[in-house]
């Protein structure tokens, strides 16, 4: 007794032939298509002080979390880790650099300087610490976005000039991406700062994220450009 399509005579054999042809065509067409693989997320660490970690704010509305969502909304596969420590100066950030930026990190947003300026730290000390941070990250092949900071204007013109020049000069010498002032559009605005006048509210973080986002996109693009095609 015949089995399968063959048991239906000529009609069954015709169906069998057509089916075999369809399977062969599908295999031929599929041979030239790459297998689907999910894009590996770009791992970003936000290395900084209380401005980075969001002092006084819930974690989900602090800068790292909001930046992550903003990049994802743009279609980027990213993971943004918070490595901010309240009160840190640039020197303190340098001291914990290796364990704050784990292996597998693709990019770092460096945000220091506010505490240095508020404490009147010698700009040469701040410059030296940031220079060492950038050198260390470069040695590890990690892409960097350096966020600049400005000194309070009541520190005097010499201090202001010496401090403010640190960030653009280091960004140029190290060839890293640069965002001139982390608190741009937020500093001194009582509507966007908490009662201390220093730390952004959730609305203030929104402004920071919106303004720094194009540079963060450039950072992700640099990482992806280095990956094997």
So which residues are the catalytic ones?
50, 196, 199
- The answer to whether the Cα torsion of 141, 62, 177, 114 is positive or negative is negative
Burial of 16 (0-12, 13-18, 19+ CB in 10 A): middle
Partners of 200 in the beta sheet?
A: 193
Q: Is 105 helix (H, G, I), strand (E, B) or coil?
A: coil
Residue identified by tokens 């013109």 is 157
3-state DSSP: the chain helix, strand, coil percent, rounded to 5?
Answer: 55, 15, 35
Partners of 178 in the beta sheet?
A: 146
Q: How far from chain centre, in Å, is Cα 155?
A: 32
């Amino acid at each position: 007794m015949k089995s399968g399509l063959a048991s239906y005579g000529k009609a069954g054999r015709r169906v069998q032939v057509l089916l075999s042809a369809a399977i062969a065509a599908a295999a031929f067409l599929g041979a030239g298509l790459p297998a689907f693989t999910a894009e590996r997320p770009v791992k970003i660490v936000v290395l900084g002080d209380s401005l980075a970690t969001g002092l006084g704010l819930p974690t989900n509305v602090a800068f790292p979390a909001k930046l992550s969502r903003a990049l994802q909304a743009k279609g980027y596969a990213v993971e943004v880790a918070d490595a901010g420590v309240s009160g840190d100066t640039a020197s303190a950030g340098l001291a914990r650099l290796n364990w704050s930026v784990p292996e597998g990190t693709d990019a770092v947003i460096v945000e220091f300087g506010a505490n240095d300026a508020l404490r009147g730290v010698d700009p040469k000390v701040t410059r030296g610490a940031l220079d060492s941070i950038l050198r260390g990250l470069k040695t590890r092949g990690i892409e960097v976005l350096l966020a600049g900071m400005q000194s309070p204007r009541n520190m005097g013109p010499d201090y202001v000039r010496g401090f403010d020049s640190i960030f653009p000069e280091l960004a140029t010498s190290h060839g890293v991406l640069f965002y001139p002032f982390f608190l741009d559009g937020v500093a001194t605005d009582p509507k966007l700062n908490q009662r201390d006048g220093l730390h952004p509210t959730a609305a203030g973080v929104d402004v920071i994220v919106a303004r720094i986002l194009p540079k963060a996109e450039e950072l992700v693009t640099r990482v992806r450009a280095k990956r094997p095609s």
